Amino acid sequence: MISLPKFKLEKRETPPFWFQVLMPLLAVVIALAISAIFLAIIGKNPFLAFYNMFMGALGNKFAITETLVKATPLILTGVAVAIAFKAKYWNIGAEGQLYAGALAATWLGIMHLPLPAVIYIPLEIAVGFIAGALWSLIAGYLKAKMQVDDVVTTLLMNFIMIYIVQAILNGPWRNPKTMYPSSVPIAKNANFPKIIPNSRVHAGILLSILAIFFMYFLIRKTKLGFEIKATGANPKAAHFLGINTVKTIIIVSIISGGIAGLAGVGEVCGVHYHLISGISPGYGYSGIVIAMLGGLNTIGVLLAALYFAVVINGAQIMSVNMHIPIFISDVIQGITLLVMLAMLLFFEYRIRRVK
Amino acid sequence: MEKIIEMRNIRKTFLGNVANNNINFVIYKGEIVSLLGENGAGKTTLMKILYGMYTKDSGEIYVNGRKVEINSPKDAIALGIGMVHQHFTLVRTLTVLENVILGLPSPKGFELDLESARKKLQEIIKKYKLVVDPDAKIWQLSVGERQRVEIIKALYRDINVLILDEPTAVLTPQEVEELFATLRIFKNEGKSVVFISHKLEEVMEISDRIVILRNGVVTGERKKEETNERELARLMVGKEVIEALRKEGGTVGAPVLKVEGIKALNDKGILALKGINFEVRKGEILGVAGVAGNGQKELEDVICGVRNPLEGHIYLKDKEVTGKSPKEIVNMGIGRIPEDRMESGLILDIPVYENLVIEFYDKPPFSKGMLINYAEIKRFAEKLVKEYRVKTSSIYAITRTLSGGNLQKLILARVLSQNPEFLIASQPTRGLDVGAMEYIHQKLLEAKTKGAAIMLISEDLNEILHLSDRIMVMYEGEIMGIIDRSKEDVDIEELGLMMAGAKRRVTL
């Protein structure tokens, strides 16, 4: 009798530890290899391209500072998404929450309040956090209380927020001098100070570092962190065992959205000093890739964010030097996420031949 | 006696784990032979090899003296070997008759020959006393009836050897007797039965011969007349099992948990608890007997705070329990060992030490303000793991990696560490091996002696009989009666009748 071999996925009992370290590295390498194929197809030397990319991001002091400027929002959105995913709040909406934060920061900034920087800047941070948090809370509340699918709500709310921003920029906030759809500059006292001279690196990066410490502390040292891990691992059991999973999801949605909102504050107050509709080239979405590549682990998220800062910044140099479309950085990010997701499957499951 | 099947030096490994280590096993014509052993002893593996579901690594199989290769159940059936699995393989939306002939060629070619099939089916039903309506759909049948359909399916294929994998696990006492009657008819026809079980009493009742497995090797073979339960238990677990009998005495005190007029719906929206009243007293174990699906699960859910009753009240001493959240219920001093240890009692994907405090991580000394003290938690976990002899590589191990018995020990350790006033334990030893079962029984008795009021829900009647001071029987969401063993002896037959809904005592 002839029977075809059948395969099935089997849940691993104990995923080996080295997997967790090796897997993201392998995902990065595989994704670069696949991207190299695309580069080769358009007739560019992939090695030269990647050389340009990495040198463009790390080759000199200026390049490194620009990479840090990019890393600033990426760390924040990565942390925001990672904390959310830990609780299985599938926050695909960091992009929209970033815009909500940017919008609120601009609103406060263009009021040109007579405040010293030591008050104005913390206020900016606070309103940005609150705006992102509230925008995320809508989806968090719907999920926790009514079991509305959070992937759908958070994703779609991105578009709502981005269109709200565009509507405002094309309407009431249109710059009366230039007539461009961008706001007037925010108050000088609301600008984040530069922390590296002759560069664009601003105080926002301190927020990013703070966010990393916050995540570590939250997950490792607080009761809420315990509740987040339990809720994320099995909400039904967590509820049975006395954890208020509704409350946990709601708090996580607030924290996650707030941190994503901070990324928007940083872009407005630290980089652009006014609001434009393209203030984020998809930092919120990159946050998803970063969180996954970082294995939802604090250090992992930091490293992944720095890596993508290199890719995004380096791709600009590569595209200028070699006439490669800048979208190559999106391609690399997308492929990295897909490879990582495929590898996660192997991480949690193994393929067994069944007879 | 004539050997009908002989398995020689059967070896089977799963990813390096030896499940069967050079096992020799013979089935004689016209006998009922039991394969006795704990979970994981290799009983089912051995029989799945015989039935062609697993491929052996090495060894030989002889049927009627002829060497054979069995590569699929189809081969096995052709050789006259049939098997009824623990998990049934029936199509719910088809009738009994349709299920029986499913997969067989029809004598009429493309056309179904239901009439001749029906005739043969009726004969089997009559001859072996396997009462079931051929035209009933599977979903309409009880678990016991479904098992009969599985047996009919095998007999319809004209087999000589019937393998039954833990067949009594899902049956009421009456149904077990009916099954045994069928098996005896089958045997008297000169056919053979392999009865896989870990229940000593049943094995002693039905078998002619008993083969005992432990860790993949045969540790003994006995004729029924030449052995007793103690010896079998020793061969099975490798040590003398201390019989965990109900400890007399202890002081039964005032009611701790009072249940008054509880009505509740099940998940399908049907009334599953029809207004029940009872109480559990300090220092006693109240056993809740009943066939699965008669409201025990809903009662457990209501007491544990995960199902809201329609009506009625539950009080712990004088405090209202109904309507409280799981957290509040735990804080009141109620310990909960839920039926579903994998999906309710534990979170499998977090480390052992987190599971050991998950019901009280937010209390001192484990937490202070918003902060959690993992150092203290780990100290506590180390202590509990040692005290309750939980087998784990360390307290850092992901809980999923532990075996069933050790998962249950984790829950037990967590719950008992809080010295609950009232403890509800639902199916606490289901699926566990004898060693773990003994241990859990011992711990429940200890808790009772220390004064806890314990409610034990179990489908395992032996467990109920071993542990309970009073036995409450549930049937279709109602209490059929409570047997107080300080006042009377248990009449097993009466108990079975009550479980089957055939008898109701006027109580309370």
CATH number for the domain including A133?
Answer: 1.10.3470
Is residue A335 a part of any domain in this protein? no
Same-domain check for residues B273 and B226: no
Region A303-327 average pLDDT:
91
Same-domain check for residues B269 and B135: no
Q: What is the pLDDT of residue B244?
A: 42
Interchain CB distance below 8 Å, B343 and A236: yes
Tally of domains within chain B:
2
- Give the rounded percent of residues in chain B with a pLDDT score beyond 70: 95
- Write out the two tokens for B334: 């109620």
Q: CB-based contact (8 Å) between A229 and chain B? A: yes
Of B304, B306, B370, the CB nearest to A223: B370
Interchain CB distance below 8 Å, A241 and B359: yes
SS3 B409: helix
What is the DSSP secondary structure assignment for residue B265, as one 8-state letter?
E
Which residue is it, tokens 């929209």?
Answer: A96
Interchain CB distance below 8 Å, B344 and A240: yes
Is residue A42 a part of any domain in this protein? no
Least confident stretch, B43-47, B192-196, B465-469, B494-498: B494-498
Same-domain check for residues B463 and B382: yes
Q: Enter the ipTM.
A: 0.85
Q: Residue B508: which pLDDT band, with cuts at 50, 70 and 90?
A: very low
Q: CB-based contact (8 Å) between B374 and chain A? A: yes
Q: Residue A2: which pLDDT band, with cuts at 50, 70 and 90?
A: low
**Torsion angles phi and psi, residue A83, rounded to 5:** -60, -40
- With b for 16 or more beta-carbon neighbours within 10 A and e for fewer, the A153-163 pattern comes to bbbebbeebbe
Contact assessment for residue B291 and residue B306, using Cβ atoms and an 8 Å cutoff: no
Of A1, A14, A239, the CB nearest to B401: A14
The residue of chain B with its CA nearest to that of A237 is: B344
Is residue A160 a part of any domain in this protein? yes
d(CA B485, CA B464): 12
Of B346, B362, B374, the CB nearest to A237: B346
Q: What is the pLDDT of residue B245?
A: 54
SS3 A211: helix
What is the DSSP secondary structure assignment for residue A188, as one 8-state letter?
G
Is residue A334 a part of any domain in this protein? no
Q: Residue B485: which pLDDT band, with cuts at 50, 70 and 90?
A: confident
* CB contacts, 8 Å: A240 with chain B: 304, 306, 326, 338, 344-345
**Chain B 189-248, residues with CB within 8 Å of chain A CB atoms:** none
Q: What is the pLDDT of residue B462?
A: 80
SS3 B98: helix
Same-domain check for residues B404 and B280: yes
Interchain CB distance below 8 Å, A242 and B347: no
Same-domain check for residues B172 and B262: no
Exposure of A84 by Cβ count < 10 A (0-12 exposed, 13-18 middle, 19+ buried)? buried
pLDDT over 80 at A10, yes or no: no
The residues, ordered by sequence, that sit 6+ positions from B412 with a Cβ below 8 Å of its Cβ are: B337, B388, B428, B440, B443
User: How many angstroms separate the Cα of A340 from the Cα of each of A74, A294, A345, B292?
Assistant: 18, 10, 9, 44
Interchain CB distance below 8 Å, A238 and B346: no
Our CA-based measurement puts residue A17 at a distance from the nearest CA of chain B, in whole angstroms, of: 12
Q: What is the pLDDT of residue B243?
A: 42
Is residue B247 a part of any domain in this protein? no
Is residue A98 a part of any domain in this protein? yes
- Write out the two tokens for B376: 């203290």
Of B327, B329, B348, the CB nearest to A234: B348
Q: What is the pLDDT of residue B78?
A: 93
pLDDT digits (tens, 9 = 90+) for A82-110: 999 999 999 999 999 999 999 999 999 99
Interchain CB distance below 8 Å, B72 and A225: no
Is residue B491 a part of any domain in this protein? yes
The residues, ordered by sequence, that sit 6+ positions from A205 with a Cβ below 8 Å of its Cβ are: A68, A71, A72, A195
Which of residues A242 and B459 earns the better pLDDT score? A242
Exposure of A174 by Cβ count < 10 A (0-12 exposed, 13-18 middle, 19+ buried)? middle
Q: CB-based contact (8 Å) between A88 and chain B? A: no
Query: Which run of H or E residues covers position B172?
Result: none
Same-domain check for residues B220 and B270: no
Q: What is the pLDDT of residue A337?
A: 86
* CB contacts, 8 Å: B348 with chain A: 233-234
Q: What is the pLDDT of residue B161?
A: 95
Q: Residue B319: which pLDDT band, with cuts at 50, 70 and 90?
A: very high
Q: CB-based contact (8 Å) between A217 and chain B? A: no
Q: CB-based contact (8 Å) between A222 and chain B? A: yes
Is residue B508 a part of any domain in this protein? no
Q: What is the pLDDT of residue B232?
A: 83
Give the structural domain span for B418. 255-499
d(CA B169, CA B167): 6
Closest CA to B11 of B36, B45, B40: B45
For A230-235, the CB contacts below 8 A with 24+ separation are: A230/B347, A230/B350, A230/B354, A230/B358, A231/A87, A231/A88, A232/A85, A232/A86, A232/A87, A232/A88, A233/B347, A233/B348, A233/B349, A233/B350, A234/B343, A234/B347, A234/B348, A234/B349, A235/A88
Q: What is the pLDDT of residue A7?
A: 67
Same-domain check for residues B261 and B346: yes
* CB contacts, 8 Å: A229 with chain B: 350, 354
SS3 B260: strand
Interchain CB distance below 8 Å, A241 and B344: yes
Of A224, A244, A355, the CB nearest to B370: A224
Contact assessment for residue A24 and residue A300, using Cβ atoms and an 8 Å cutoff: yes
Q: What is the pLDDT of residue B248?
A: 57
Q: What is the pLDDT of residue B19?
A: 85
Q: What is the pLDDT of residue A240?
A: 96
> Alpha helix (H) ranges present in A267-354?
283-293, 298-322, 328-348
Q: CB-based contact (8 Å) between A19 and chain B? A: no
Same-domain check for residues B268 and B224: no
Mean pLDDT, chain A, rounded, equals 92
For B134-140, the CB contacts below 8 A with 24+ separation are: B134/B95, B134/B96, B134/B97, B134/B100, B135/B95, B135/B96, B135/B97, B136/B95, B136/B96, B137/B92, B137/B93, B137/B94, B137/B95, B138/B90, B138/B91, B138/B92, B138/B93, B138/B94, B138/B95, B138/B96, B138/B99, B139/B92, B139/B93
Region B332-346 average pLDDT:
93
Q: What is the dihedral of CA B422, B424, B429, B430, to 10 degrees?
A: 180
Least confident stretch, A201-205, A227-231, B232-236: B232-236
Q: Which residue out of A223, A224, A246, A354 would a mutagenesis test of the B interface target, given it has the greatest number of B Cβ atoms within 10 Å?
A: A223
The strand pair at B32-36 and B209-214 is best described as parallel
Same-domain check for residues B330 and B417: yes
Give the structural domain span for A172. 69-321
Contact assessment for residue A70 and residue A309, using Cβ atoms and an 8 Å cutoff: yes
d(CA A117, CA A50): 42
Q: CB-based contact (8 Å) between B351 and chain A? A: no
Q: Say how many residues make up chain B.
A: 508
Which of residues B239 and A168 earns the better pLDDT score? A168
Same-domain check for residues B353 and B279: yes
* CB contacts, 8 Å: A230 with chain B: 347, 350, 354, 358
Which of residues B156 and B266 earns the better pLDDT score? B156
The strand pair at B32-36 and B192-197 is best described as parallel
Q: What is the pLDDT of residue B242?
A: 38
* CB contacts, 8 Å: A238 with chain B: 347, 358
Q: Directed axis angle between helix A61-86 and helix A204-221, to 10°?
A: 30
* CB contacts, 8 Å: B397 with chain A: 14
Contact assessment for residue B106 and residue B113, using Cβ atoms and an 8 Å cutoff: yes
> Alpha helix (H) ranges present in chain A?
17-41, 46-58, 61-86, 94-109, 117-146, 150-170, 204-221, 223-233, 235-240, 245-266, 283-293, 298-322, 328-348
CB pairs under 8 A between A and B: 75
d(CA B4, CA B63): 6
Q: What is the pLDDT of residue B433?
A: 78
Mean pLDDT, chain B, rounded, equals 89
Q: CB-based contact (8 Å) between B327 and chain A? A: yes
Angle (nearest 5°) at CA A23 between A60 and A40: 60
Is residue B392 a part of any domain in this protein? yes
pLDDT over 80 at B80, yes or no: yes
pLDDT digits (tens, 9 = 90+) for B352-374: 999 999 999 999 999 999 999 99
Is residue A75 a part of any domain in this protein? yes
Of A236, A239, A355, the CB nearest to B55: A355
Give the CATH number for residue B385.
Answer: 3.40.50.300
Give the strands of the sheet with B311-316, arranged side by side: B271-281, B255-265, B311-316, B319-320
Is residue A245 a part of any domain in this protein? yes
d(CA B435, CA B405): 9
Neighbouring-strand partners of residue B260: B313
Tally of domains within chain A:
1
pLDDT over 90 at B186, yes or no: yes
Closest CA to B263 of B305, B312, B301, B303: B312
The strand pair at B66-68 and B271-281 is best described as unpaired
Is residue A159 a part of any domain in this protein? yes
Q: CB-based contact (8 Å) between B338 and chain A? A: yes
Contact assessment for residue A184 and residue A190, using Cβ atoms and an 8 Å cutoff: no
Q: What is the pLDDT of residue A21?
A: 82
Q: What is the pLDDT of residue A19?
A: 74
Closest CA to A265 of A100, A135, A137: A100
